[in-house]
Structure 1
């Protein structure tokens, strides 16, 4: 029996409405219905009477509700005890989070000196899947606004910065207008490789009224640096924290105007206690 299913059932019981429960859990309504139905099959009883007009607890539902609340409270106490006496936190990460991770891990260890941390570097889609499967405990991500079955907590905002070849005409300037760059070939990650960053860059440019010809999508950050470093006619927009870690003499990072930004978030399972989620936002925020 999964704690997630119990959490979903308790939320539906509180709201007596699947749609409102889904909004509270930040997931799609079908996922809530599926988890509750799975719990009912596992227990062999009907917990909720459903009709187009109402959702009501059955007699069995009333009995299970109290036990479910006790189980979730016990799980919260276990987490609290683990945090108080140390433990291991598995954090999903990617390129460009070094400074933020160092600061956040220092904050975690200040609260619990024996706390151990394991970093798991995965592409964004794999990170979210690992979080859903319980293989990691939280992840940092940029450009993610919602994720099924997960809690997305906006935590920081960072500027998007132009990555240019050192031979680009604007490479030595303190700032460059995005419209000036639009004549060159824009390199944007493919939606398959990094959907959140792809959408964040394209929507930021659209909001700024800028259209640029798109080149072949780059792969990793290292690939992007090498390819743009050898092509003075191409450019990319990347988060400032990513570019702060670039150590190549072949490229330059140049701020752009108008200022374009991307939102970074801490993403957790939906059953994480609110006080723990708030602490993680404080730990990994600016």
Structure 2
């Protein structure tokens, strides 16, 4: 018997509505229905009476509910005890130093509250990052541009400006701001390490076509841009602030472009812990 099925059952019992339960769990309603049906088959009883007008617990459902709550609470205590014993927080992040400054600030803030833990950073693409969180392989993830994720809680935590990066010899290098239309004549360079939400934001802003290059690291891309007066790239504020090359210029976009960053946690993380993570890694406006 999976704890996930028990959690879905308890959520439906709380809401007495499959649609609201699915919203609360951040998953599609058919997935909730399948889990409940599977649990009923496994237990050999009906847990809910369903009609087009309402959902209610059966007598068997009432009996199972209290025990299910106890089982979930016990599982949560096991997780907390294991994490306290291990003293390790595993954070999913992106490659290429995507969140370097934010991670440093956030870890320092968390250690002010609980100094006795170590940190392990796990670099993964966004989809793999979220899946690792679902599987319990990491404890939280930072992600940009993620609005929802089935089975996880996505907590918007910061808003981050996007900047253009051009060669110091680019015609716009001395400008206080630059529009995408003025850059579009030159090739847009991105890398395998680029946060996909940035490229998505460009597409949403009306930039047509695919990036001219998509290989190597963000550092490689900066070197390439610095060597080509026509090409350009874009980076979120946190990454743009890390650039040390004198061969490129970082320029605000006009109109301003922003992306939302989120702390992503499992649905069973206590609300107080989730709030502490948001407070540590978020801010009002970054960039």
TM-score, L = length of structure 1: 0.87
Residue in 2 aligned with 1:260? 257
Using the TM superposition, give the Cα deviation of residue 139 of structure 1 relative to its aligned residue in structure 2, in angstroms.
0.2
Given that residues 93 and 121 in structure 2 are in contact (C-alpha distance below 8 angstroms), is that contact kept between their aligned partners in structure 1? Answer: yes
Residue in 2 aligned with 1:34? 34
| Per-residue Cα deviation, 1:199-247 (whole angstroms, up to 9, x for no partner) | 22322x23xxxx4554424234234323323332222222011122233
Residue in 2 aligned with 1:157? 159
Given that residues 229 and 251 in structure 1 are in contact (C-alpha distance below 8 angstroms), is that contact kept between their aligned partners in structure 2? Answer: yes
Change (3 A) 1:277 1:2: farther
| Structure 2 spans left out of the alignment, 5+ residues | none
Given that residues 92 and 129 in structure 2 are in contact (C-alpha distance below 8 angstroms), is that contact kept between their aligned partners in structure 1? Answer: yes
Given that residues 166 and 251 in structure 1 are in contact (C-alpha distance below 8 angstroms), is that contact kept between their aligned partners in structure 2? Answer: yes
Residue in 1 aligned with 2:221? 224
Given that residues 96 and 243 in structure 1 are in contact (C-alpha distance below 8 angstroms), is that contact kept between their aligned partners in structure 2? Answer: no
Which whole-Å CA distance do the structure 2 matches of 1:38 and 1:222 have between them? 49
| Per-residue Cα deviation, 1:165-218 (whole angstroms, up to 9, x for no partner) | 22211123332233322333334679xx85433322322x23xxxx45544242
Residue in 1 aligned with 2:73? 73
SS of the residue 1:200 aligns to: helix
Using the TM superposition, give the Cα deviation of residue 147 of structure 1 relative to its aligned residue in structure 2, in angstroms.
1.2
Given that residues 131 and 138 in structure 1 are in contact (C-alpha distance below 8 angstroms), is that contact kept between their aligned partners in structure 2? Answer: yes
Change (3 A) 1:104 1:194: closer
Change (3 A) 1:124 1:162: same
Given that residues 162 and 252 in structure 2 are in contact (C-alpha distance below 8 angstroms), is that contact kept between their aligned partners in structure 1? Answer: yes
TM-score, L = length of structure 2: 0.86
Aligned length: 280
Change (3 A) 1:8 1:139: same
